[in-house]
Structure 1
Amino acid sequence: MTLDNRSTVRKVLIITLLLNLFVMALKAVVGSSTGSLSLLADALHSVTDSANNILGLITSRFSSPAPDRDHPYGHQKFEAVGALGIAAFLGIACFEILQGAVERILKGSDPVKISPPELWLLLLVLGINIFIAFYERREGQRVGSPILIADATHTMSDVWVTIAVLLGLIGVWQGIQWLDIVLSFPVALLVFWSGWSVLKENLPWLVDEMAIAPEAIHAIVMQVPGVINCHDIASRGVVGRQVFIEMHLIVDANDVEAAHRITEEVESQLEAKFRPVRIMIHVEPPAYRSDLISYESESKRG
C-alpha cells in the first residue's frame, strides 16, 4: 500500500512560495533603506526559502510513491533528495552571512538607520513567518511529507533569525550600532543548525538505515498461528511514510495454500502496525532451523 500526497504538498508549497516572496521583498526593501547587514542577511535567508519552495515543487513532481518498471520501489527518495537540497541552501546562506559580517568588521560601513514604521513592517514579516512554519509543519505531519517538514524547519529558523534581527534593529534605533553586526553571528549559527537538522532527518532514508527494530517485527510475527520462527529480518524506509520489510519465515504448513494463508496473516498484522508497508517473505519448511533474528553485525562477522 502506498500513499500519494503530492497534490497536497504542491498546494502547500505554492501558498508558502507566494508568502515567502512577499516576505523577501519586504526584508530587501527595508534592509536596503536602512543599510542593516543583519536584515540584508535575513533577506538572503528568505531567498533560500523561496528557492526551497521551488525545489520542493520540482521534487514533488517526480516523487510518486507508485512503482513503475524503472523504479519498482517507487520514487519517494526524490523528496529526501529535495530536503538535502534545502540543507545545501542553508549552508550557502550561513556562509554568506558570516562573510558579510566579517567584511563589515574589517572594512567598516555607514551607520544603520531605522524608523518605527520599518520596525512595524518587520513585525508583520515575523507574523507571516510564524504562520508559514506552523502551517507547513502541520500539513507535512498530516500527509507524511519530508519536504514540507524540512521546509517548515527552515522557516522556523527564519522566525528566530527575524527575532534576532528585530532585537538588533531596536538596539540600533536606540543608538547601539554594533548590535547589528554582533547579532549577524548567531543568525548564521541558527541557519547552520537548521541545515544540520534537515540533513540528519533525511540521511537515514537515503542510506537505507533500519526503519524498525527486527525484535519488534519478530514479536508481532510470532503471534500469528502457524508461525514457527522468522529470521534474517530487514527493514528500510521511514515509519508512517513508507516502509519495506523482508524476512525468512518458518511455517507449520505442508502445502502451498496453508503457507500462503499464514503469510497473508503475517502481512496483515504488519500492515496494521506499520502502514504503509511493502513486505517480502521467503517461506521455509517446518524442519528448517535458525535462531538468528536479524543479520549479523560487522563486529560478529569479524
Structure 2
Amino acid sequence: MNSTNYKKIKQVLWVIMFANFAVALLKIIIGSAVKSASITADGFHSLTDGSSNIVGLIGISLAAKPVDREHPYGHRKFETLAGLFIAGMLLFIGGKIIVEAVNRFLNPVSLNIALENLRALIVTLAINIFVCTYEYSQGKKLNSFILLSDSLHTRSDIYVSIGVLITLVCIKLGLPSIIDPIASLIVSLFILHASYEIFKSAGSILVDKAVIDTEKIKNLALEFDQVKGVHNIRSRGSEDDVYIDMHILTEPNMSVEKSHDLIHQIEKKMRKEINNNLQVFVHLEPFYDLIRNAK
C-alpha cells in the first residue's frame, strides 16, 4: 500500500471518528434522561466506534512507516494489530453491558420515553447507516483491513439501534419495562459477535492462513506455455498485501533472462486476475527432473 492510500485512510477515519462521537454523546444523553439501559448501552457501543477510530489512526500511522532493517517486510501488520485491539475493546464493552443488564433485572427501573427521544434516535440511526456504508466502500476501495473491520463494528451498531428503537416503541405502546434489559442483552450479543468476527479476520492474517485458492494460482501459471508443472503453492497475507510462493517446472535449457521474464509475466498476470497488491516468489525447477523421479 502506498503513502497516498494511508493518507486517504486517515482522512476517512477522522471523518468517521467525529460522526461516531457525536452519535454516542447524543445516545448517552437520551439514555440517561429516560433511564433506559438499552439506549445507554447503545450509546456506549457507539462510543467504542469513536474510540476504535483513534486506535485505527494510531495503527495506520505505524503501518505507514517504510521498510527498515528490523522490519524488512514493512510495518503493515500494525494495522492488523490495531484491529485486534478494537476487538478487545468490543469484548470488554459487551461484558460490561451484560453486567448492567443483569443489574436491571434485579433492580427494575420504570422508563419515561418521549416522542422527541425516539426521533433523535432515528437521526442517529441514519448517521450510523451513512458511516457504515461510507467506511465499508472506502475500505474496499483502499484495501484497508482497519476500515473494513471498523465498518463491521458499525454495522452491528445499526442492528443494535434498530433493536433499541423497536424496544422503546413497544414500551411506549404499553409493554412492560423488563424488555429494556432484555434488549441490552441482545445489544451485548451483537457487540460480542462483532468482536469475534474481527478476532477471526485478524487471526487469519497473523497465523498466515491461505488467502488464495491454490487451484486458481496453478491454472493461471499453466496458461503460460513455458510452464510444464506447478506445485508447492502457498499464499498468505491480507487483501492489501498478498504473498504467493510456488515451484514451477520449465524446460531445463531456458536461459536465466527468459526465466526472469517468465516470472515477471506470471506475477503481472496474477496481479491482474487476483489482486493488484500481490507479490509472487517462484522457485524454478527443470522439467526433466519430474520425469526422472517418476521412473
Supply the distance in 2 between the matched residues of 1:201 and 1:248 (Cα, whole angstroms).
Answer: 28
Alignment TM-score, normalising by the size of structure 1: 0.89
Q: Does the alignment pair 1:105 with 2:101?
A: no
Question: Shift of residue 65 of structure 1?
Answer: 8.1
Supply the distance in 2 between the matched residues of 1:55 and 1:22 (Cα, whole angstroms).
Answer: 18
1:135-164, Cα deviation, whole Å (9 max, x unpaired): 111111111111111111111111111111
Structure 1 residues 59 and 291, CA gap change in structure 2 (3 angstroms): farther
Supply the distance in 1 between the matched residues of 2:77 and 2:245 (Cα, whole angstroms).
Answer: 19
Supply the distance in 1 between the matched residues of 2:126 and 2:47 (Cα, whole angstroms).
Answer: 18
Aligned to 1:297: none
Alignment TM-score, normalising by the size of structure 2: 0.91
Supply the distance in 1 between the matched residues of 2:122 and 2:73 (Cα, whole angstroms).
Answer: 46
Structure 1 residues 227 and 97, CA gap change in structure 2 (3 angstroms): same
1:11-57, Cα deviation, whole Å (9 max, x unpaired): 11101111111111111111111111111111111121111000000
Aligned to 1:235: 235
| Larger deviation, residues 132-141 vs 268-277 | 268-277
Matches within 5 A, 1:103-252: 103-106=103-106, 108-176=107-175, 177-238=177-238, 240-252=239-251
Aligned to 1:295: none
SS of equivalent to 1:208: coil
Assess if the C-alpha contact under 8 Å between 1:126 and 1:163 holds in 2: yes
Assess if the C-alpha contact under 8 Å between 2:125 and 2:162 holds in 1: yes
Assess if the C-alpha contact under 8 Å between 1:231 and 1:291 holds in 2: no
- The one-letter code matched in structure 2 to 1:228 is K
| Larger deviation, residues 122-131 vs 267-276 | 267-276
SS of equivalent to 2:228: strand
Structure 1 residues 228 and 46, CA gap change in structure 2 (3 angstroms): same
Structure 2 residues without counterparts, runs of 5 or longer:
none
Question: Shift of residue 187 of structure 1?
Answer: 1.3
Aligned to 1:299: none
Aligned to 1:279: 280
Structure 1 residues 102 and 223, CA gap change in structure 2 (3 angstroms): same
Assess if the C-alpha contact under 8 Å between 1:164 and 1:183 holds in 2: yes
Question: Shift of residue 88 of structure 1?
Answer: 1.3
Structure 1 residues 179 and 61, CA gap change in structure 2 (3 angstroms): same
Assess if the C-alpha contact under 8 Å between 2:108 and 2:178 holds in 1: no
Aligned to 1:27: 27
Supply the distance in 2 between the matched residues of 1:10 and 1:95 (Cα, whole angstroms).
Answer: 30
Question: Shift of residue 184 of structure 1?
Answer: 1.4
| Larger deviation, residues 53-62 vs 182-191 | 182-191
Aligned to 1:300: none
Supply the distance in 2 between the matched residues of 1:290 and 1:88 (Cα, whole angstroms).
Answer: 53
Assess if the C-alpha contact under 8 Å between 2:135 and 2:148 holds in 1: yes
Of all paired residues, the percent bearing the same amino acid is: 33
Supply the distance in 2 between the matched residues of 1:156 and 1:77 (Cα, whole angstroms).
Answer: 24
- The one-letter code matched in structure 2 to 1:33 is A
Structure 1 residues without counterparts, runs of 5 or longer:
293-302
SS of equivalent to 1:282: strand
Question: Shift of residue 290 of structure 1?
Answer: 7.8
Supply the distance in 1 between the matched residues of 2:86 and 2:257 (Cα, whole angstroms).
Answer: 50
Structure 1 residues 139 and 182, CA gap change in structure 2 (3 angstroms): same
* Alignment length (residue pairs): 289
Assess if the C-alpha contact under 8 Å between 2:105 and 2:178 holds in 1: no
1:70-119, Cα deviation, whole Å (9 max, x unpaired): 2222222222211122221211121111111111112x143111111122
SS of equivalent to 1:232: strand
Supply the distance in 1 between the matched residues of 2:169 and 2:269 (Cα, whole angstroms).
Answer: 59
Aligned to 2:56: 56
Aligned to 1:298: none
